[in-house]
């Protein structure tokens, strides 16, 4: 891979993706501040945080068409400006409605962070390096998630959460400028297709059984991780493990660090193992199975060895992202943006449902001294675990498709 291409293609998109993950996970640390300042119930807190995911999901299908029609540079740069506006609205909010609008604008604004980069990588880099590039890129996202844990906790004391979001608004504008002015243009495959034909291609994607079998574990397993790391893991650690705020932030940091390392590991190792004869599909299945085992321990309320459990969970949860490389051989190159956004609309829609749903289940049980009931956590997480098991079982007999280009 040419260093110049990494500098002008990979790095600008990575700046926006870092912010995307920071935005996605920051509410886990400021959840108690928001609940206190706005008197939020667990259901309202889950809904508010999930608005990022809902807006993100709602824009995925239009995003796929825009990426394949106009290219990633202009689309992602424009969206990052929307994220900046959302961060400003969130920081200025005085009520739940305005907070929700700001959170939704943030989700819309960063919705092209990963899909836009994958589209750009497919234009500028060989397909044999896609898993490696995706893994390194996801590692940058993991750094964003990592930065939204203990570092945010350290900043909250002197500055507060509102000042944090003002700073994020400025950082989003800067990332938009990097993408717009540094990323080069390249002719797009399939140029000249009518908009109607591009939209109709989603029917082909959603009618594909192999697409659904690969997408299902990505959707439910990674949605489960996002629901926890993005919001509910912190309350679980407070209530089930009886930890203080500093210890909770440290464990969130452990999970984020492991997720970051896993991003790079699964991307680079899957390409290396593929050259040695071990398919990416096999790596995908093994990673998902270990991730589910760790999730099951949390669902069962295990609180001993949490550092190890969360480290392994974070490390293996990101194996779900190998789905993006597995999708590539299934469809022609001009459909790259739409294929990946088709899976993303499902994943983020389910992530919203999981994040809101956990809060809704917790509300069914009594809250004692500000702590949610252990039975509520168990009921919610066991349902999520069962869905993950079903998706992995459906994938298990499948073999990887041979590349078509």
Closest to 130 in 3D by CA, of 326, 273, 370: 326
Distances (CA, A) of 352 to 5, 294, 374: 35, 21, 22
Alpha helices, DSSP H, located in 318-365? 323-327, 336-362
CA distance 354 to 357: 5
Residue 222's CB is within 10 A of a number of other CB atoms, namely 23
CA distance 299 to 320: 19
Q: Which tokens in the block code for residue 165?
A: 């979001």
In this prediction, residue 402 carries a pLDDT of 55
Distances (CA, A) of 12 to 8, 16, 19, 257, 267: 6, 7, 12, 22, 20
Enter the DSSP assignment of 185: P
Specify which residues 368 forms β-bridges with: 371
Hey, is 238 helix, strand or coil? helix
In this prediction, residue 405 carries a pLDDT of 45
Per-residue pLDDT of the chain (405 residues; tens, 9 = 90+): 577 888 888 999 999 999 998 998 888 788 888 888 888 887 788 888 888 888 988 898 889 888 888 889 999 999 999 999 999 999 999 999 999 999 999 999 999 988 898 888 888 887 667 777 877 888 888 788 778 877 887 877 778 889 999 999 999 999 999 999 999 888 776 566 677 887 888 888 989 999 999 999 999 999 999 889 878 998 999 999 999 878 888 898 899 889 888 988 888 888 788 888 888 899 999 999 999 999 999 999 999 999 999 999 999 998 998 898 888 778 887 777 788 888 888 888 898 889 889 988 998 998 888 788 999 999 999 999 999 999 999 999 998 765 544
Residues near 226 by Cβ (< 8 Å), separated by ≥ 6? 24, 53, 351, 354, 355
Residues near 82 by Cβ (< 8 Å), separated by ≥ 6? 105, 108, 109
In this prediction, residue 37 carries a pLDDT of 87
């Amino acid at each position: 891979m040419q260093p110049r291409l990494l500098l002008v293609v990979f790095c600008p998109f990575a700046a926006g993706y870092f912010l995307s993950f920071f935005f996605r996970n920051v509410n886990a640390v400021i959840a108690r501040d928001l609940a206190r300042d706005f008197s939020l119930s667990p259901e309202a807190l889950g809904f508010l945080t999930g608005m990022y995911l809902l807006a993100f999901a709602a824009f995925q299908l239009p995003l796929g068409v825009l990426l394949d029609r106009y290219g990633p540079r202009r689309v992602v740069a424009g969206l990052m400006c929307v994220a900046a506006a959302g961060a400003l609205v969130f920081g200025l909010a005085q009520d739940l409605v305005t907070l929700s609008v700001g959170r939704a604008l943030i989700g819309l604004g960063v919705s092209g962070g990963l899909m836009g980069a994958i589209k750009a990588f497919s234009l500028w880099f060989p397909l044999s390096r896609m898993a490696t590039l995706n893994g390194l890129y996801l590692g940058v996202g993991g750094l964003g998630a990592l930065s939204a844990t203990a570092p945010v906790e350290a900043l909250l004391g002197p500055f507060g959460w509102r000042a944090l979001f003002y700073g994020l608004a400025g950082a989003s504008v800067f990332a938009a400028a990097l993408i717009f002015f540094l990323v080069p243009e390249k002719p797009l495959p399939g140029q000249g297709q009518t908009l109607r034909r591009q939209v109709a291609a989603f029917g082909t994607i959603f009618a594909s059984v192999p697409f659904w079998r690969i997408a299902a574990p990505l959707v439910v397993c990674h949605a489960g991780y996002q629901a926890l790391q993005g919001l509910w893991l912190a309350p679980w650690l407070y209530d089930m493990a009886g930890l203080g705020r500093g210890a909770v932030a440290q464990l969130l940091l452990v999970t984020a660090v492991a997720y970051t390392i896993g991003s790079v590991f699964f991307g680079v190792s899957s390409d290396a193992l593929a050259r040695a004869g071990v398919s990416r599909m096999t790596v995908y299945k093994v990673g998902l199975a270990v991730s589910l085992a760790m999730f099951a321990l949390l669902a069962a309320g295990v609180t001993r060895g949490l550092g190890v459990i969360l480290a392994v969970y974070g490390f293996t949860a990101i194996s779900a992202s190998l789905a993006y490389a597995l999708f590539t051989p299934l469809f022609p190159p001009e459909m790259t943006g739409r294929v990946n956004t088709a899976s993303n609309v499902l994943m983020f829609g389910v992530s919203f449902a999981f994040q809101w749903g956990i809060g809704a289940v917790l509300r069914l049980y009594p809250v004692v001294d500000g702590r949610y009931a252990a039975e509520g956590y168990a009921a919610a997480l066991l349902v999520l675990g069962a869905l993950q098991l079903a998706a992995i079982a459906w994938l298990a007999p499948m073999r990887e498709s041979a590349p078509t280009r």
